[in-house]
Amino acid sequence: MAKESIKKWPKDERPRERLFKYGEHTLTNAELLAVIFRTGVKGMSAVDLARQMIAHFKTFRNMSHVDISEIRSFKGMGDAKIAQLRASFEIARRFLSEPKKPTMEIKSPKEAVDLFMPRLRDIKKEVFQVLLLNARNRIIDIIEVEEGTVDQANPHIREIALKALQNFAAAIIAAHNHPSGDPEPSKEDVIFTKNLATACRALEINILDHIIIGDNRHYSFAEHKRL
């Protein structure tokens, strides 16, 4: 039996109308997803499609890092809906990784991890980011230096140092992810950290930490006293 289009639902039951009337926080996960999809497919409303996907993936995080082909396997998930979905996930990651205040002060490795974790933990390629700080450890900017392959990132020490000097940074915190989910440093990570620290000290830039992000886990060179 064909399911009724959302347009035929009573207004108070339509996700978009409920969002404006009662607030987005009142919508279920499936309803929020339906607002992003906008339309369903023949015989299935956008809410029905969203419910199927929620039932399959369980969480938005699971949904955010699967291969596109798995999302495309759902009837009605064409390029437009997939693009809207992926863009929404990336906006969420960037929102969570933004400093709460432009002048937020980093007082501990945990505070730096909280900035890097949402953006880096689910990316399938290694990405290297650097937190630029002033003399009071207040955030100047977060820069992305280089995106590598699944197996290796190759950030350039010269580029990191140049970005720090251009932004008058007194200190930096480096971070990259391990797509495997295991944050333990490799031999290359250890060598790179040593070389970066040497270069920064020569330029009188304080390197406070190098953090490796895994699957909701991290490794801090500062916490392990390896800087």
Cβ 138 vs Cβ 105: under 8 Å:
yes
Could you identify the residue written with the tokens 């009071």?
136
Q: Are strands 171-177 and 139-147 parallel, antiparallel or unpaired?
A: unpaired
What three-state secondary structure class fits 170? coil
Confidence of residue 62 (pLDDT cuts 50, 70, 90): confident
Structure confidence at residue 4 (pLDDT): 55
21 falls in which pLDDT band (50, 70, 90)?
Answer: confident
**pLDDT-derived band at 2, boundaries 50, 70, 90:** very low
- Global confidence as pTM: 0.63
- With beta carbons less than 8 A apart as the criterion, state whether 54 and 29 touch: yes
CA-wise closest residue to 47 among 18, 80, 14:
14
pLDDT band at 224 (very low <50, low <70, confident <90, very high): very high
| Lowest-confidence region among 25-29, 59-63, 98-102, 163-167 | 98-102
- Cβ contact 196:216 at 8 Å: no
Structure tokens at 75: 């009837």
Those residues with Cβ within 8 angstroms of residue 8's Cβ, 6 or more apart along the chain or in another chain: none
**In the numeric block, which tokens belong to residue 37?**
């999809």
Residue 68 belongs to what H/E stretch? helix 68-72
- 217 or 23: which leads in pLDDT: 217
Q: Are strands 171-177 and 127-133 parallel, antiparallel or unpaired?
A: antiparallel
| Residue owning tokens 């505070």 | 111
- Three-state DSSP state, 1: coil
- Helix/strand/coil for 166: helix
Most confident of 90-99, 110-119, 176-185: 176-185
DSSP reduced 3-state for 155:
coil
Tokens of 223: 């916490």
Cβ-count burial 163-185 (b if 16+ within 10 Å, e if not): bbeeeebbbbbbbbbbbeeebeb
Confidence of residue 150 (pLDDT cuts 50, 70, 90): very low
| Rounded mean pLDDT, 3-22 | 76
